[in-house]
Amino acid sequence: MAQRKVSGSKLFMTVLWMVVGSGAVPINDLLDRASQRSDALHSISTTLARDLDSSFSPIGRMLMPRPSMCHTASLQTPIDKEQALQVSESDLLSLTRSLLQAWLDPLMSMSSSAKALPHPAHNSISNKIHELQEHSRRLGDGLDVLSGKLGPAAQAISFLPYKGGNDIGHDKFTRLANLHFLLSCFRRDSHKIDSFLKVLRCRAARMQPDMC
């Protein structure tokens, strides 16, 4: 999918400043908070994926599903910062919200399954997944409020249904492998979310593209 170029960017940011600036919290502060949440999401998911990675042999890791099998893989997104800088603010916000929305059900499934995970650190894993849920919820709520003031383009969400169900596996290897796979997918998506929000924050601060 060809990404929409930044059209009407100056007009968008002018409206953004007028809308949010009239409230109690400046746009820069809102995006700073969102970036802090997205930083936490990516950091926790990276730690969790690495923790579980140690449970598998090199051969076991080779048998893991590929990233192309993630349920969010069909959403076409910028592959790097340079591409993200060419996408309109409305589209970046829409993509970010679409990714967050797509992980509501998987995170719930991961949370319920982690409590009985056959792993020595299952309590810590369960607590960290709960943190992911909380950060995702709060970040989503904040972006929903912001998008609701910016018009239809920012409010649009691409629905990416998760068909994995509530049970991630019936035996030890399957549960560990499926949880590891989901965390790997979430880590990839949380990196995208974090990158998109940082581009939005950069534009709100009216920084030059090479400083983003």
Stretch 49-65: mean pLDDT: 66
Angstrom distance (rounded) from CA 78 to CA 94: 13
Q: How far apart are CA 94 and CA 96, in angstroms?
A: 5
pLDDT at residue 12, rounded to an integer = 43
Between 66 and 9, residue with greater pLDDT: 66
Q: What is the pLDDT of residue 39?
A: 93
DSSP string, 46-102: HHHHHHHHTTS-HHHHHTSPPGGGSTTTTS---SSHHHHTTS-HHHHHHHHHHHHHH
Higher confidence at residue 7 or residue 208? 208
Q: Is the pLDDT of residue 43 over 90?
A: yes
CA atoms of 29 and 209, how far apart (whole Å): 20
**Domain 32-211 belongs to what topology?**
Growth Hormone; Chain: A; (1.20.1250)
Confidence at residue 64, expressed as pLDDT on a 0 to 100 scale: 64
Give the least confident one: 82-91, 102-111, 170-179: 170-179
Question: Dihedral sign, CA of 87, 157, 198, 20?
Answer: positive
Instruction: Please say if the pLDDT value at position 9 is more than 60.
Output: no
Residue 184: closest CA among 57, 63, 59, 42: 42
pLDDT in tens, 109-160: 888 888 777 777 778 888 999 999 999 999 999 898 778 766 788 889 999 9
Q: Name the residue ranges covered by the structural domains of the chain.
A: 32-211
Sequence-distant (6+) residues with CB within 8 A of 93 are 143, 146, 147, 150, 154, 196, 200
